[in-house]
A and B are shown apart, each in its own frame.
Chain A
Amino acid sequence: MTFAAALVAATLASSTTPVVAHASSGVASTPKSCDAKDAEAKRAWAAESHSWLASQFHKEQRDIADSWCRMWETTNARDRSFKAENFGRTLFTGEGLHPSVASSLVPGSGFAGGATLGLERGLVSRPLRIGLSADGLASMNGSWEGAAAVHFLGTAPRDENDHMQGSGEFVHQHLAELSYFGPNNDSVQTNQTAFGLDKTTAAATWIVPVHGGLRLAFAVGGGWFTPREAGGATVPQAPASFQEATTPAIANATTYVISTAGVVWRYPFDATSTGYRTGASLVFRDFHEMGGQPYSFRRLDAEWTNVYTPSASIGTFTGTGYLDTSFTSGGDAVPYYLQPTAGGTDLFGRSLLRSYHDYRYRAPNLAGIVIEHERPIKYFLGSLLFADFGQVADEPSRFRLNAFHYSLGAGITLRAGNTTVLRIFYAWGGGEGTRTTVAGSSNTFGGNVGLGLTNW
């Protein structure tokens, strides 16, 4: 049982006892009201001194217990629905330790659940905020993840609300089964194989705002990658079908020191919902293999997004271009499990060729274009049309205009606050079947535009 589950169980146990039985008399007393329980717990906490952390967890536990109690205390069904929502909000959000659910840990891993921790403090003596986050998630196909990070956010006054960010991150992922169809752009769907991968990465990142939405970014860290057999796979194991010559590091673990530098820019600086917006990023990474194996390489990832909303009734047109290029020297090669992928959604959440199987095409170089049109239809519903074009290549010089695979798609969106919050779409094209997908918002401008500093 996770700590979060234990916390919830203890909370529920402490707040649902309907009647207090007095052992001495055997007479049942009236149940305490939620107000009385809340007051009693708080009074007890005030009697002693506590650390900030202990108080934070205690407050969270009290809030969960209190919202649960009030949900059952009310007799009005509608009021109970509000209080049930309030309980859900208290249980799943806010600072502290919470249960966590996700539609998948990585694409194809199935539903995932676990616990997540989030804490933050602003320093009095320095213009800095420090956050701690950690999570433990397990998914239905046996994959799991443990991650912890310390985040820093500068609060020194600046002309724009854009501040220095830093982090120290540690992530370990045990990915039970990932698909591999063979190298390059002409791989065949029927050659599907599977492999497992253990990934451990540790990194320090630093993002420096310059001006007007322009930022410089740096990261340095280490990565440990160990390919394994896919447990319980219904397709052949990758090493049984492919050899080192076409699939570098097919059975080899690698250890890297990874240095990253990037630049990212968005326009306009303040978020807008109409007119023209754009964002671009350019990230260079040096992967230096530490074990002396011939797998050192460099990668340059570029992304450019253009968004145009002429009017609400016409809707929003979005065009995004991706170009990932890898460079090697002295006979080195890029391990297949570190190559970018096109098809469905990749390990880092990028969707390209959405009618295809996840990770369908894999090679050291990737080019992709995504064009979308979204518009409100009525009430909270909107429509979505898209076209994806993507190809991979073993050398950047081998990209060809006529080598792009494509997916087309249509769907509906759920909108709130004039923003898409959920997309349900059907994708087809390319002769490899169709896919229906439910996905959250693809909000391009909410985060660091495609920066992916630690997308290793």
Chain B
Amino acid sequence: MSQDPRIKHIVTVMMENRSFDHLLGLMKAENAALRGISPGEYSNDTTMGVAVPVSAGATSQGLLPVDPGHEFVDVYMQMYGEPFAGVTTGTPDMSGFVQNYEQLAGRGKGDVVMRCFAPDDLPALTTLARSYAICDAWFSSVPGPTLPNRAFAHFGTSFGRLDMSPDYFRMRPSIYQRLRQSGKRGKIYYYDETSSTLGLTFLLSDQASYFGLLGDFKKACKKNQLPEYSFVEPNYVNHDGRLACDQHPDNDVVAGDSFLREIYDAIRSNDDVWASTLLLIVWDEHGGLFDHEVPPAVGHPDDYTSTTPKFAFDRLGVRVPAIVVSPYVEAGVVDHTVYEHASIPATVTEQFIGAPATNSPFSREKWASTFLHLLTRTAARTDDPFAAPMLAAFSRRRTPMAALRAKPPRHRPSSSTPASGLLRQQVKDAHFVLVRHHPAEATPFEPENVRTEADAARFLKRAHAILNPHAAARKSSRTLAAPPTRPTRRRKPGGAKQGRER
């Protein structure tokens, strides 16, 4: 995949410390293609050998009063089910989350890391996930804490670091410096001066060109002055009446959900910006919360290794949520491509500098998957996923969950009402994509004959069935009890250490 000339801006929002299953896993109930979970499908044992099933019931705050472990040795135990003994061996089975949390919070306290959010509890996140593309195989780059994972997002490597020292003074070149060398702009927008930025130690020169605050980001969106690449940081600390919105345990998760909506709205505030922007929403690491997907080994390890703890950067960290938002992304896409945080600078490089294989300085980034291939639509989408009548009736952050769950009244297309200009444009767009990607099947379609709402509805339904067969099939079989797609490590009654992949 090469660069997409329609994309002039890439925006990354990186949140903190939540796993894929924890935030998005339960969406599997509405989209069987998603590598998510069903309540009870997986379990982890407590220290006493009692199985704790994965379940709904995560709460916005108060769930994790002791911060779950996410240092390398903690994540190792979560993944392998046993303490790190100086060397990584075998294959992870994701069986040690509960026990690891008990090691920090005490016996009997580990069940909370198996709790997941019901989709409707996070209206902004799940609306975006439903309306754009979910990447369900995005793994943190390092089975470890925040800073080395964020380093992969900024540099494409952590330089062999697994520690949480903020000293990245001498590390370069970051993607921001590389963009600058290519005559482009890359900028970190952080929340405010009190929250500060996790990037302040490696961009000391020309700081004004590399840093802005949240208000600057919103202003740049409104005035269509976004740089080519923007990295947006949430508020990391509760201060001055402002809630931390990074979703780090035990910060308020709903505040983070509102923040995501805020960023999306900022991009939508200018049609030109919306039509030329690719937004990635991703979490830096899983934060010690359960995820069932086994992080894969890395085919092309990093250029650096860590000596203490000994680690060759040859396996990815735990899976995190990731959503790609763009007017050129189809609704409801589930992308199974394996990504990691080096995919971020790789994609930015691919779009604005050149092929990562030749232009990225570090091995992991050279080989990382990029996500430009998700831009499959020819015409830009103009629909607003938050604009459903019931949603619009409420201010976005005052929307009660029950109202969000309510379905908007259905508009039935009429055979007597002429199709609107917008509807006819959608028909033309769909036909254009059909001709381009499915020329043989496009022949019977005659967009010029679409005159009424009912004509347009029939046309779009048939086109959609060809363009997105998985979604169409899913819709038609929604009432059937679909068999689980991933039967391994399913919970058995009283089972201890279920289904180890040894």
Contact = CB atoms under 8 A, between A and B. Distances in A.
A-B complex is real: yes
Interface of A: 33-36, 38-39, 42-43, 45-52, 54-56, 58-59, 66, 70, 73-76, 79, 81-83, 85-86, 89-90, 120-125, 129, 131, 153, 155, 157-159, 161-165, 207, 209, 215, 268-275, 312-313, 376, 378-380, 415-419, 441, 443, 445-448
Contact of B205 (A52, A86, A164, A379): A379
Given A35-B73, A46-B102, A89 B242 contact: no
B207 interface: yes
A269 B204 CA distance: 27
Contacts of B255: 155, 161
A86 B193 contact: no
A209 B397 CA distance: 15
Contacts of A313: 208
Given A39-B84, A89-B166, A45 B214 contact: no
B398 A417 contact: no
B359 interface: no
- List the 8 closest A-B pairs by CB distance, nearest first: A122-B61, A312-B208, A50-B106, A270-B215, A272-B215, A42-B103, A124-B62, A271-B192
Given A45-B104, A59-B66, A417 B192 contact: no
Interface string B137-169: 000000000000000000000000101111100
Q: With a 10 A CB-CB cut-off, give which of A85, A122, A123, A165 has the most chain B CB atoms.
A: A122
Given A124-B61, A418-B212, 7 more contacts: A39-B73, A39-B85, A43-B83, A52-B66, A165-B241, A270-B218, A416-B200
A202 B161 CA distance: 47
A86 B83 contact: no
Contacts of A120: 238
Interface string B184-211: 0000101111101101110111011111
Nearest to A33: B86
A114 B191 CA distance: 31
B207 A86 contact: no
B395 interface: yes
B47 interface: yes
B83 A271 contact: no
- Per DSSP, chain B at the interface is loop
A209 B307 contact: no
A448 B106 contact: no
Tell which of A46, A83, A157, A448 has the most Cβ of chain B within 10 Å.
A46
Contacts of B109: 49-50, 55
A79 B307 contact: yes
A415 B215 contact: no
A215 B482 CA distance: 53
A52 to B, nearest CB: 5
A55 B240 contact: no
Given A270-B213, A416-B200, A419-B193, A47 B164 contact: no
Nearest to A162: B241
Contacts of A82: 161, 163, 165, 167
B213 A161 contact: no
Contacts of B108: 49
Given A55-B105, A74-B308, A161 B193 contact: no
Given A46-B102, A209-B241, A416-B207, A83 B163 contact: yes
Give chain B's interface residue range (CB within 8 Å of chain A): 35 or more
B234 to A, nearest CB: 10
B279 to A, nearest CB: 18
B38 interface: no
B192 A85 contact: no
Nearest to A126: B62
Contact of B163 (A56, A86, A376): A86
Nearest to B84: A35
A34 B209 CA distance: 42
B389 interface: no
A272 B213 contact: yes
A52 B105 contact: yes
B207 A380 contact: yes
B104 A55 contact: yes
Given A121-B62, A417-B197, A153 B238 contact: yes
A365 B210 CA distance: 44
Contacts of A215: 241
B65 interface: yes
A39 B196 CA distance: 33
A39 B215 contact: no
A124 B61 CA distance: 6
Contacts of B208: 273, 312-313, 376, 418
Contact of A271 (B65, B102, B163, B193): B193
A89 B164 CA distance: 8
A158 B254 CA distance: 11
A130 to B, nearest CB: 10
13 contacts: A49-B109, A50-B107, A51-B106, A55-B106, A56-B66, A82-B165, A122-B61, A157-B398, A271-B191, A379-B204, A417-B207, A446-B192, A447-B194
B62 A122 contact: yes
